[in-house]
């Protein structure tokens, strides 16, 4: 029990710290122009990868099949998958498409709004999980 608690704590901590770094990066890039050193870029790539990995581990540790009824699990899953799908827009494929058409993609502004959108979906998913998941005492009743 303690090992599971510790594992959940560590991966949630990593997830929250990496999300804060990513959000902070999106905000500072929008409002303040600064030189991007190699260390800065490596930090943000590392945080992005850790954010995805810790998010996947958190989903596994949450065990949605055991805490939701079928319909609620589908709704929560849709929210989580939409966050994952949106993360792919941080990749530079849109920049390439715009460039091939002779335009410049507004990457800084796009990243800002993308991070805010993902943050909103994250809050909705967390609140949904808190409000619609079966409580431990309800899960015990189902096992009787």
- 38 and 87: one domain? no
pLDDT tens profile 78-136: 999 998 899 888 888 888 999 999 999 998 899 889 989 998 999 999 899 888 887 65
pLDDT tens profile 66-82: 888 888 989 999 999 99
- 79 and 128: one domain? yes
Tell me the CB-side half-sphere exposure of residue 139, using CA atoms within 13 A: 12
**Residues of 90-117 as b/e, b for ≥16 C-beta within 10 angstroms?**
beeeeeeeeeeeeeebeeeebbbebbee
Query: Which structural domain, as residue segments, surrounds residue 10?
Result: 1-62
- 9 and 38: one domain? yes
Into how many domains does the chain fold? 2
- For 136-143, the CB contacts below 8 A with 24+ separation are 139/66, 139/67
Contact 48, 90 (CB under 8 A): yes
- 83 and 139: one domain? yes
Percent of the chain topping pLDDT 90: 22
- 70 and 34: one domain? no
- 50 and 87: one domain? no
- 58 and 70: one domain? no
* Average pLDDT score over the chain: 84
């Amino acid at each position: 029990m303690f090992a599971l608690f510790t594992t959940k704590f560590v991966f949630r901590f990593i997830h929250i710290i990496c999300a804060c770094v990513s959000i902070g990066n999106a905000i500072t890039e929008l409002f303040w122009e600064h030189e991007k050193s190699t260390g800065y870029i490596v930090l943000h790539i590392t945080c992005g990868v850790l954010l995805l990995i810790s998010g996947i581990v958190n989903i596994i540790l949450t065990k949605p099949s055991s805490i939701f009824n079928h319909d609620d699990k589908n709704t929560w899953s849709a929210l989580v998958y939409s966050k994952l799908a949106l993360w792919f827009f941080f990749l530079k494929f849109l920049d390439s498409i715009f460039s091939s058409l002779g335009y410049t993609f507004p990457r800084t502004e796009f990243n800002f709004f993308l991070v805010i959108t993902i943050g909103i979906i994250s809050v909705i998913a967390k609140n949904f999980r808190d409000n619609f998941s079966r409580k431990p005492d309800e899960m015990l009743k189902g096992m009787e």
